[in-house]
Chain A
Amino acid sequence: MNKARTNPLNTFAMHGALIFYTLIALFPVFVILINSFKTRKAIFKEPLALPDTESFSLIGYQTVLKQGDFFLYFQNSMIVTVASLFLILLFGAMAAYALSEYRFRGSKLLGLYLALGIMIPIRIGTVAILDLMVSTGLVNTLWALILVYTAQGLPLAVFILSEFMRQVSDDLKNAGRIDGLSEYTIFFRLVLPLVRPAMATVAVFNMIPIWNDLWFPLILAPTEATKTLTLGSQVFIGQFVTDWNAVLSALSFAILPVLALYVIFSRQLIRGITSGAVK
């Protein structure tokens, strides 16, 4: 074992720094959570105090559950996020595999073209996208959001995944070909499992911006039936009065699924399954 790593002082410093960072990162979440269980008065009087018998109140949650169709918003957000992530990973991985595995005329150029999207924010094209969605009749459907988010996530996904796929051993793929696996089986059964950490990275990177996005839901799908959670929570934030209990409760709700998805993906990040394939 590395000597520097076993030095107790180093270990202490390292863990100290990590714990400190964790505390800073979790503090806002913690404040949101405790305040979502307090009365409005208590929130403003002592924002950092834990809820006690006097200040405890579920009024925020009650408002959220009564107001609008909160579970529908929740479901919409979930559908949009999961579907977009699925499509980003599927198409991103397939494009990345084609670019890294097969040589064909213009493959370099195509790779560059696909990566261009990393530098150009998709919001620049909002007007054109809205036009497109109106004329295809997709406006005010969840599909509008799913398609836009997929397009937004693909460039980085292709870029990262093709780098990783280039590192998958040729011998392994060739062994599969000799064993009679089809190109699709090689892709799904050999290559994808080996780039799983990269897939998880791409998923985590894309998940939060999609879940939190307010822009496209507001423009492309603002109807009651297609509202996402972020958009739905906006009703509690008014120009003059803001229902802080409801906002904090809605936010607390919104954190949970992201947390769950993150746990799922981050488990993949640390799986050491790749070792032992080759040398």
Chain B
Amino acid sequence: MTALTLTNVNKSFGAVHVLKDISLTVEDGEFVVFVGPSGCGKSTLLRVIAGLEDATSGEIRIAGEQVNLTPPSKRGIAMVFQSYALYPHLSVRKNMSLALRQEGQPKDVIEQRVANAARMLNLDPYLDRYPSELSGGQRQRVAIGRAIVREPKIFLFDEPLSNLDAALRMNTRIEIANLHRQLSASMIYVTHDQTEAMTLADKIVVLRDGRVEQIGSPMELYNNPANQFVAGFLGSPSMNFFPAGLVNEGDDRTMGVRPEDLFLSDDGPLLAQVIHVEHLGGDTNVIANVQSHQVTARLFGQHSIEAGQSLRLGFSAQKTFHFDADGLPAA
């Protein structure tokens, strides 16, 4: 069964057309990640799904039922906000149980569900504290707990980890992945973090300027990007683009090679002037100029390369992408 279907959804704020003809489906139990540059409409799309904004046109179905006119609380969704948005004057327990009390659930059901969520998220010791007495990571877990107790059909996450520091972000990411496995619920997750998108998603939706650029599994998108934008957006460091003419005389297409597919080679086709080297221990990132085009090579292991020197880079022909002037793939 499909958990969510969007058909030609549009959203305008006055004259500003923010979402343009968005159509997509989320299957039951699927983890879908929305990625895209800042301002492309990810949050707006999530808010339209939640019912916090009305779609200007188009249809939204949750579990097969049209919900365009259904208020947020009746849509069977729960949302986790980037800013946590905990109720400051309520204890953790009350924060988590408010929606259930509002629905008029019996007391024992509420207690049961709050206890379950608290156990899942290791929040037991904090149930009677107030949000101001918690750390950032604990607050985020409470926010997630508040979503879990509602047992929604779809979880909506809007950049839930962007306020956490790197180590905590990784832990919470793993926690969310675990949660998805345990609950086997549908989840929609907005982020502009590459790693979160690639590691969490069953399916990635790449957005640009309010349009869907491509939908697919992380590896599909990585291996077969639909256009130059998607190719450049996924993968870190991002794909190198340069005129194919640098390699083949007279070729007017744009060539793309991922940094990890470049290697040192004495007879490689690219003569590069090193500008900067990043030694990461396991990897070495070499940023270099090929004529006036900047390329990044990610070399495995440690290399004694220094800024200023020149070297030759090679790649295998199967690992290249070609795009025409419009950014579409060109064989």
Q: Taking beta carbons and an 8 Å cutoff, which residues of A are in contact with B?
A: 169, 171-172, 174-181, 190, 193-194, 272-279
Which residues of A are found within 8 Å of B146, using beta-carbon distances? 175, 179
**B87 contacts A277, CB within 8 Å?**
yes
Q: Nearest residue in B to A179 (C-beta to C-beta)? A: B99
Report B84-118 residues with CB < 8 Å from chain A CB. 84-89, 98-99, 102-103
- The answer to whether A177 touches B72, judged by C-beta atoms less than 8 angstroms apart, is yes
Residue of A nearest to B14 (CB): A103
Contact of B84 with A279 in the complex, beta carbons under 8 Å: yes
Alpha-carbon distance between A180 and B51 when the two chains are bound, in angstroms: 12
Q: Is the pair A179, B130 in contact by a Cβ cutoff of 8 Å?
A: no
Those 8 A-B pairs whose CB atoms lie nearest each other, nearest first: A276-B132, A180-B73, A277-B88, A171-B85, A179-B99, A278-B83, A276-B131, A180-B102
Q: What are 25 A-B contacts with C-beta separation under 8 Å?
A: A171-B81, A172-B85, A174-B47, A174-B50, A174-B72, A174-B79, A175-B146, A177-B52, A177-B71, A178-B50, A178-B72, A178-B77, A178-B99, A181-B98, A193-B88, A193-B89, A272-B132, A273-B88, A275-B88, A276-B86, A276-B132, A276-B134, A277-B85, A278-B83, A278-B85
Distance (whole angstroms) from the CB of A178 to the closest CB of chain B: 5
Closest-CB distance, A170 to chain B (whole angstroms): 9
Nearest-Cβ distance from residue B149 to partner chain A, whole angstroms: 10
- A169 CB contacts on chain B under 8 angstroms: 83, 85
Say whether B88 contacts A194, CB under 8 Å: yes
How many whole Å from B303's CB to the nearest CB in chain A? 41
Are B132 and A275 in contact (CB-based, < 8 A)? yes
- Write out the residue numbers on chain A whose beta carbons fall within 8 Å of the beta carbon of B131: 276-277
Q: Which of A172, A174, A193 has most B Cβ within 10 Å?
A: A174
Q: A179-B98, A180-B99 are in contact. Are A278 and B89 (CB under 8 A)?
A: no
Contact yes or no, B84 A278, CB < 8 A: yes
| Known A276-B131, A276-B134: A179·B81 in contact at CB below 8 Å | no
Whole-angstrom CA separation of A177 from B52 in the bound complex: 8
Among B79, B81, B98, B146: residue with most chain A CB under 10 A? B81
Collect the chain B residues with CB atoms within 8 Å of residue A178's CB. Answer: 50, 52, 72-73, 77-79, 99
Residue B133, interface by CB 8 Å: yes
A176 to B134, CA, bound (A): 20
Q: A174-B72, A180-B73 given. 16 additional CB < 8 A pairs?
A: A174-B47, A174-B81, A175-B79, A176-B87, A177-B72, A178-B50, A178-B79, A178-B99, A273-B88, A275-B88, A276-B130, A276-B139, A277-B87, A277-B88, A279-B83, A279-B163
B14 to chain A, nearest CB (A): 9
- Contact with A171, one of B72, B83, B89, B134 (Cβ below 8 angstroms): B83
Give min CB distance, B176 to chain A, whole Å: 18
| Chain A residues whose CB sits within 8 angstroms of the CB of B134 once the complex forms | 276
Kindly provide the distance from the CB of A188 to the nearest chain B CB, expressed in whole angstroms. 12
